[in-house]
Amino acid sequence: MNIESQSMLEDLLYELLPVLGFALCASSLLIIVVMRKSSGAFRFSVWFAINDLVTGLATVYAGFYGVVSTVYGNTGDMQTPSNCLLRAFHVTIWLYFDIYHMLLLSMFCFDRLLFMLVPVAYAKVSCAYLNWTVVVLLGVASCALLTPALTLPIESLRNESIVIHTLCRVDSVTGEAYYANHVMVMQWMPISGSFLGSSSLFWL
C-alpha cells in the first residue's frame, strides 16, 4: 500500500470513528437504562455498559481529533508522546478502559466459575464481590496497571527529541513493545476465560 492510499484509508477511518462512537454510546445507554435495577450477576451488564459508554465517548473524540489533525495539520507534523496524552487524551482513556474491561471480565469469569462449582453457596459468597466497592477498587487497580504504558511519555518529558506523528497512534504513544503485549492480553484474556468456563463443566 502506497503512502497516498494509506493516508486516504486513515482519513476514512477517522470519519467513521464518530459514527461508531455514537453507536456504542447509544447501545450502552440503552443497556444501562434497561438493566439499572438489576441484581446479582446481571450487574455485570451495567458495569460493562458504563465501560463501553466512556470508551464510546473517547472514540467520538478520537474521530474528531483525527479529522482536525488531517485537515488542518501537515503530513510531517510531530509532537512528543507526553503532549499526545494531553491533546489526544482518548489514547489514555482507551488504554485505561481496556485494562478495566479485562479486570471486569476476569471477575465475571470467576463469578461464572464459582456459580458452576458451588451453586449452593454461590448466593452468599457472591455478595462479597458483586458490589460497587469492588468495582471501584478494580478501577484503582487499573490505574496502577496503566503505569507501564506511560513510560515513553514520561521519558519524553526529559528528552524532547523523542517525537511521534501528531495523529498520536496508540502504539506510537506507548511504544511498540508495550502495545504488542497489550494487544496480546486483549486477544487471549477472553479466550482463556471461555476455556476456563468450558473446562469446568467437565469437573462437575
Q: What percent of the chain has pLDDT over 90?
A: 44
Q: Model confidence at 189, in pLDDT bands (50, 70, 90)?
A: confident
d(CA 61, CA 128): 37
pLDDT-derived band of residue 3, with 50, 70 and 90 as boundaries?
very low
**What is the rounded CA–CA span in Å between residue 199 and residue 194?**
9
Rounded to whole angstroms, the Cα distance separating 56 from 52 reads 6
pLDDT band at 8 (very low <50, low <70, confident <90, very high): low
Is 177 within 8 Å of 90 (Cβ atoms)?
Answer: no
Residue 186: which domain range? 3-200
Over the stretch 84-141, which tens digit does the pLDDT of each residue have?
Answer: 888 889 999 999 999 999 999 999 988 888 888 888 888 888 888 999 999 999 999 9
Backbone angles phi and psi of 9, in degrees to 5: -65, -40
Output phi, psi for 129, to 5 deg: -125, -15
Count of domains observed in the chain: 1
- Across the range 145-171, mean pLDDT stands at 89
Start-to-end CA distance of the chain, whole Å, equals 52
* 6 has pLDDT over 70: no
CB atoms within 10 A of CB 148: 14
- pLDDT, residue 13, reads 80
67-76, 96-105, 186-195: least confident range: 67-76
Question: Span 9-27, mean pLDDT?
Answer: 86
CA count, 13 A, side-chain hemisphere, 71 = 9
HEC profile for the chain? CCHHHHHHHHHHHHHHHHHHHHHHHHHHHHHHHHHCCCCHHHHHHHHHHHHHHHHHHHHHHHHHHHHHHHHHCCCCCEECHHHHHHHCCHHHHHHHHHHHHHHHHHHHHHHHHHHHHCHHHHHHHHCCCCCHHHHHHHHHHHHHHHHHHHHHHHHHHHCCCCCEECCCCHHHHHCHHHHHHHHHHHHHHHHHHHHHHHHHCCCC
Query: How many other CB atoms sit within 10 Å of the CB of residue 114?
Result: 17
pLDDT tens digits for range 30-66: 999 999 888 888 899 999 999 999 999 999 999 999 8
Q: Which residue has the higher pLDDT, 30 or 204?
A: 30
The confidence score (pLDDT) of residue 92 equals 94
